[in-house]
Structure 1
Amino acid sequence: TGINYEVVALMAIKTELQDHYNVLDNWDINSVDPCSWRMVTCSSDGYVSALGLPSQRLSGKLSPGIGNLTRLQSVLLQNNAISGTIPSTIGRLGMLQTLDMSDNHLTGSIPTSLGDLKNLNYLKLNNNSLSGVLPESLATINGLALVDLSFNNLSGPVPKISARTFSIAGNSMICGVKSGVQPQQSMSRSHRIAIICGATVGSVAFVAIMVGMLLWWRHRRNQQIFFDVNDQYDPEVCLGHLKKYTFKELRASTNNFNSKNILGEGGYGIVYKGFLRDGSIVAVKRLKDYNAVGGEVQFQTEVEVISLAVHRNLLRLIGFCTTECERLLVYPYMPNGSVASQLREHINGKPALDWSRRKMIALGTARGLLYLHEQCDPKIIHRDVKASNVLLDEYFEAIVGDFGLAKLLDHQETHVTTAVRGTVGHIAPEYLSTGQSSEKTDVFGFGVLLVELITGQKALDFGRLANQKGGVLDLVKKLHQEKQLNMMVDKDLGSNYDRVELEEMVQVALLCTQYYPSHRPRMSEVIRMLEGDGLAEKWEASQNVDTPKSVSSELLPLKFTDFAGADESSVGLEAMELSGPR
């Protein structure tokens, strides 16, 4: 019949919700492909894999039609005003890993069908008005990492839910853990004394055993050398369906971390190509300083956040490894490398990235960043957007990587950090001078990335080759004003590019790299402008804004201009040092 059942299901959801701010205005029943719709993410094979509508001030009810989106892996509807009951049809979503409907106005009971979600990792239904007894079926889900049912009106006994983090606080009618044995109403005095004595003796014995084990462990550890990683070290780590690799396994896959297998090196660590026993090829990121992520607990937190970021334009985390002195992350291997490497490649004498591919890469990168900024909870700031951090899959689709250890941002607008991490030529002026970063820091980096896609060169290299006294952005602005944009186009492209799209991309780049963060567009606006919607109005408005004469000179303060003479590299600089005395 030609009808896309996913389109029908999404339109049913749109119909039942009340969208006061037109967030879903581009959801169209006549569309054959919902993958371009706002807040919808699709997998590489074209099925809807994530529905991300957090904090969009939606009300109304959630349609049972959601049960027809059978390939969904993530549903994020938190912090809205959605009312009514949770549709039992959600139980059909056998691939679902994340369900977050916290901070809404949901009523009724938790559907028993949720127990059918055998792949579920994260369940958050806290801060609603749910009532009734917790379904026993939740105890049958084995891979749960987090369950938060706090602050509802739930009652009755609590099933033995197997989750590393489980919160049921704020439900006054909860009876306690259901054990299958009814508690006795009374107990003899001698029975109570026996229990107390037994517990005391057991506690003393337990403490003595633990002290003995600690002394033995310290003795053993003092005998070990640093590189002798104890593969048996395995604190209780349960991170849903992420694969936990042993250090020995990853060391073997990379041929003992052989330098010949190095794919790249960033601010946080070295990435190696790995060949696993099952024949699969992976990228293994070995963190330089395992203490940099705050130890075991912080590392697990970071890993959980990374695993929640599921989008076709983001690098998916597939596993991890943690030992006493090692932290490693495992990702899919990207066969076409990075945008930076492909900009220098040629196929049969022609550039590997033609103009249409570069435009597609720009849009894909923007969509990945939009997901990090507006659809992740907590939000994630990348802080180092550049061509070498955008990878390419077998279809040359842009995959944003290296966001795994970026600073996390809650619903506040900004974050101040003491260490400035990024790449010279891509760092926003406010971040470089004060350490203050926000989503607009990434928008600035994206603008510089657009310049690299157009010129085919690193931003700093382009400015040096043109003998530009000011900065790179000054040169771009000058060429735009003089209508000589053809002078900045990658010479390898020849005349094989769209002149109108070129001017639009340059204008978007200049809008993204405006000096004041508040003047830069959000990534959602960037995507619309790259698609030709609203750019003319935004550009016209920007021409009436006063900015410093030379933005680019602010990017590289005099004391750090030595970096400009070297290759582009990631840096970690102290904000206090950069900003001077306060």
Structure 2
Amino acid sequence: MELVFIVLILACLQSFVLPDSQGDALFALKNSLKASSAQLTDWNPNQDDPCTWSNVLCDSNNHVTRVTLPSMGFTGTLSPKIGNLKSLSTLTLPGNGITGAIPEEFGNLTSLTNLDLSNNSLTGEIPSSLGKLKKLLFLTLCQNNLTGTIPTSLSSIPSLISLTLNSNDLSGQVPEHLFQVSKYNFTGNRLSCGNNFPQPCASKSEDSGALSKPKIGVILGVVGGCIVILFLGGLLFILYKHKHKSDKPEVFVDVAGEVDRRITFGQLRRFSWRELQLATDNFSEKNVLGQGGFGKVYKGVLSNTTKVAVKRLTDYKSPGGDASFQREVEMINVAVHRNLLQLIGFCTTPTERLLVYPFMQNLSVAYRLRELKPGEPVLIWPRRKQIALGTARGLEYLHEHCNPKIIHRDVKAANVLLDEDFEAVVGDFGLAKLVDVRKTNVTTQVRGTLGHIAPEYMSTGKSSERADVFGYGMMLLELVTGRRAIDFSRLEEEDDVLLLDHVKKLEREKRLDAIVDHNLGKNYYLREVEMMIQVALLCTQSSPEDRPAMSEVVRMLEGEGLAERWEEWQHVEVTRRQEYERLQRRFDWGEDSVYNQDAIELSGGR
């Protein structure tokens, strides 16, 4: 009996001494990726709780659910120990220099919904074990050096809606069932899409609303089953919490002015007021990064030396303030993408609402274009191209891969942030709108920034993703010219106050050099400038139906389909201009002129 007692004590002691298995797996990943001494400094094997580590998020049970490490310059390999993270739903490591093979153990990540290993140097074959990831929605392995065939096991993933394997060295036949995935891309390989299949190697439409019919039944079944499980689980959870209410306080915050409406923050980190007060030097004015409609954003440094941006909603009790707070929190549960700003955590008190984001080292595009301090480098042309494409991909994800879709409603250079590698990150979701596509999207108050607001939104209050496309087009013009969308100082130069009119005029006169930001000197390629201006003008057409979708914008920026779309637009523009000039001449002659009547008749007869 004493022996059994001793064994039990030793087992208990061992459970305290052994490292956390989640922390062990993450630390193994850090080592295998060859993270530098300045990277992931808080990933410490001696620290019990990996949920406090940077770029790691956990659920309410302290299970790691999300690891996001985009564009951090890693050159190592992937650790197979990651397969031990059974609750992991998102694993994204795009834009690094990761080598080696994808471990077979990744097939053990049974909770995974998003796996993004794109734009690395991975080699070897795609593991067939990935077919065991039955919850997987997004599989992104493009722009690597993967070889071999596409495993047929991927066809057995019922929930898969996006499969991008382009720009590898894959060969053989594409499994037939993979053409039923809503969005797929197999281009840039040595694959045969098959003579028996009419589908091209890339999906014709990447619109998330057009899911293929064979998958609708499966998805409805999965969604229906999930709803039943969530309902029963939620009921049991509520009963358990009611019974054990004194054990642990609920992480809910009351929303001012609404009855029984509460925000749950799930896996986001809760910061104390004192912690953020110390991080920002008591919200010192010297740490202000910017100011928006609902408060200021401060630079902060946490106790573990992590740099953050703290958004303090000083006006949250005013109309729309607390709604803005709730809206930004809701976005994190829907939108996860390398080109979208991710929320780290929050802080709430009876009088304060604060949101904590990662600090963007290179601030915003607007800052880099117009607010540089002496000695700071100009935003070079290759980076402007990189920013244009990254922003487009972020907006494409909001419009076409979120359910419900998200309309940003304030796309401009000031709201596109830049990380240490100048990768574009779309931020400031304070005005964003979650859209139910079955309803009309009419708002009682137009929100946004003058010069970036689409004309139909300004006149009718009806917002759509094509209003974001207009704002994106204006941001492209900001990138090319370095100028603001509206600038009254241009009156002194007898120029158009509106940047769009100014660019259209110079483009018609073929004076492209006069459009380009003078800070670039001659360090740009005129053909690339011309292409970006063409995309911008297509995005800023007066009719929303004529503007391209963001997925089409991405393709045009990558060099696909722009020439055809531009030629079509040019034909329409010439016709409109001729009609306008004809009406102008008619007006100038005067309505009562006899000669005018004859001229009109002759014109009409011809």
TM-score surpassing 0.5? Answer: yes
Partner of 1:286: 312
Partner of 2:569: 542
In 2: Cα distance, 1:469 partner to 1:538 partner: 27
Q: CA deviation at 1:27?
A: 5.5
- Structure 2 residue ranges without an equivalent (≥5): 1-99, 101-121, 131-138, 140-149, 155-162, 164-174, 192-200, 246-260, 578-606
Q: Could you tell me which amino acid in structure 1 is paired with residue 554 of structure 2?
A: I
Q: CA deviation at 1:545?
A: 3.4
Cα distance change of structure 1 residues 344 and 162 upon mapping to structure 2, 3 Å threshold:
farther
Partner of 2:471: 445
Give the SS at the match of 2:267: coil
Which of 437, 442, 453 is 1:427 aligned to? 453
Give the SS at the match of 1:3: coil
In 1: Cα distance, 2:234 partner to 2:436 partner: 31
Moved more, 467-476 or 282-291: 467-476
Q: Deviations over 1:148-201 (max 9, x none)?
A: 33699xxxxx6788767xxxxxxxxxxxx999xxxxxxxxxxxxxxxxxxxxxx
In 2: Cα distance, 1:27 partner to 1:242 partner: 38
Cα distance change of structure 1 residues 356 and 419 upon mapping to structure 2, 3 Å threshold:
same
Q: CA deviation at 1:511?
A: 0.5
Which of 361, 365, 386 is 1:335 aligned to? 361
Partner of 1:380: 406
Residue 473 of structure 1 pairs with residue 500 of structure 2: yes
Q: 8 Å contact 1:443–1:521 — kept in the other structure?
A: yes
The number of residues matched between the two structures is 388
Q: Deviations over 1:125-166 (max 9, x none)?
A: 4325xxxxxxxxxxxxxxxxxx733699xxxxx6788767xx
In 2: Cα distance, 1:178 partner to 1:329 partner: 30
Q: 8 Å contact 2:344–2:357 — kept in the other structure?
A: yes
Q: CA deviation at 1:529?
A: 0.8
Q: Deviations over 1:514-533 (max 9, x none)?
A: 00111111100111111111
Which of 187, 203, 224 is 1:127 aligned to? 224
Q: Could you tell me which amino acid in structure 2 is paired with residue 487 of structure 1?
A: A
Q: 8 Å contact 1:420–1:432 — kept in the other structure?
A: yes
Q: CA deviation at 1:18?
A: 4.9
Q: So what's the TM-score if we normalise by structure 1?
A: 0.59
Q: Deviations over 1:19-60 (max 9, x none)?
A: 3597314455559xxxxx999xxxxxxxxxxxx995442366
Residue 455 of structure 1 pairs with residue 481 of structure 2: yes
Moved more, 302-311 or 520-529: 302-311
Partner of 1:496: 523
Q: Could you tell me which amino acid in structure 1 is paired with residue 546 of structure 2?
A: H
Give the SS at the match of 1:448: helix
Identity of matched residues, %: 51
Cα distance change of structure 1 residues 379 and 293 upon mapping to structure 2, 3 Å threshold:
farther
Q: CA deviation at 1:298?
A: 8.5
Give the SS at the match of 2:183: coil
**Which structure carries more relative contact order (alpha carbon 8 Å, separation 6+)?**
1
Residue 510 of structure 1 pairs with residue 589 of structure 2: no
Partner of 2:211: 57
In 2: Cα distance, 1:433 partner to 1:251 partner: 43
Q: Could you tell me which amino acid in structure 1 is paired with residue 562 of structure 2?
A: L
Residue 149 of structure 1 pairs with residue 228 of structure 2: yes
Give the SS at the match of 1:480: helix
Q: Could you tell me which amino acid in structure 2 is paired with residue 19 of structure 1?
A: F
Residue 524 of structure 1 pairs with residue 603 of structure 2: no
Which of 216, 232, 241 is 1:81 aligned to? 216
In 2: Cα distance, 1:349 partner to 1:471 partner: 30
Q: CA deviation at 1:473?
A: 1.6
In 1: Cα distance, 2:383 partner to 2:492 partner: 25
- Structure 1 residue ranges without an equivalent (≥5): 32-36, 40-51, 61-79, 84-102, 106-124, 129-146, 153-157, 165-176, 180-201, 207-234, 550-582
Cα distance change of structure 1 residues 413 and 352 upon mapping to structure 2, 3 Å threshold:
farther
In 1: Cα distance, 2:365 partner to 2:127 partner: 33
Q: 8 Å contact 1:383–1:441 — kept in the other structure?
A: yes
Q: So what's the TM-score if we normalise by structure 2?
A: 0.57
Moved more, 261-270 or 500-509: 261-270
Q: Could you tell me which amino acid in structure 1 is paired with residue 228 of structure 2?
A: L
Cα distance change of structure 1 residues 149 and 520 upon mapping to structure 2, 3 Å threshold:
same
Cα distance change of structure 1 residues 163 and 283 upon mapping to structure 2, 3 Å threshold:
farther
Q: Could you tell me which amino acid in structure 2 is paired with residue 104 of structure 1?
A: L
Give the SS at the match of 2:224: coil
Give the SS at the match of 1:329: strand
| RMSD of aligned residue pairs (Cα, Å) | 3.8
In 1: Cα distance, 2:509 partner to 2:545 partner: 27
Q: CA deviation at 1:313?
A: 0.5
Give the SS at the match of 1:420: coil
Cα distance change of structure 1 residues 261 and 389 upon mapping to structure 2, 3 Å threshold:
same
Q: Could you tell me which amino acid in structure 1 is paired with residue 453 of structure 2?
A: I
Q: Could you tell me which amino acid in structure 1 is paired with residue 423 of structure 2?
A: E
